[in-house]
Amino acid sequence: MENYAPKLPRDRTGEAMQQYPSPRLALATIANDNNTVSSVITLNDQTSALEIGAVGAPAVMRWLAVGVANTSVVSAAGTANFDHVIPSATYRRFVVPRETAAIASVAGLNIAEGLYQRVAVRSIGIASVLTTQY
């Protein structure tokens, strides 16, 4: 399937509503309060998009490939390995990228499309990181 990301909601005239999340319920939500160390999140078998919010300080996020032993996400200069930064008091939405080639599977969209199955998040300083899976 080429277009696996959740569809944008549309208004009554059929125009895409760009600043709105997909019109579907969350598959899972994770709230990490005072999150100063990396938290590894295993994505739901159906997850194809994420929303990550940083409350109190910026946060960093890293996509984790299957078999990666170092699951920490680091924001310090010289050893930084993050993929994305979420500014403080805001959120960012992500379409889960492909890690491997798509495979025939009845397990779920995430696995069938070969999408990343894990992500690591942490705050920069003492703060909270909120993650929603769609």
Give the pLDDT of residue 105: 67
| Structural domain that includes position 40 | 28-133
Question: Which CATH number is 69's domain given?
Answer: 2.60.120
In a domain, residue 62? The reply is yes
In a domain, residue 66? The reply is yes
State the pTM of this model: 0.87
Give the pLDDT of residue 71: 87
In a domain, residue 22? The reply is no
In a domain, residue 97? The reply is yes
In a domain, residue 99? The reply is yes
In a domain, residue 47? The reply is yes
Q: Look at residue 110 and give its three-state secondary structure.
A: helix
In a domain, residue 18? The reply is no
Give the pLDDT of residue 62: 96
Give the pLDDT of residue 122: 94
8-state DSSP, 83: S
Give the pLDDT of residue 51: 95
pLDDT, mean of each 10-residue run, the chain (134 residues): 81 90 86 84 94 95 90 87 96 93 77 92 93 95
In a domain, residue 17? The reply is no
Compute the distance between CA of residue 75 and CA of residue 58 in angstroms, rounded to an integer: 10
Number of domains in the chain: 1
Compute the distance between CA of residue 73 and CA of residue 64 in angstroms, rounded to an integer: 9
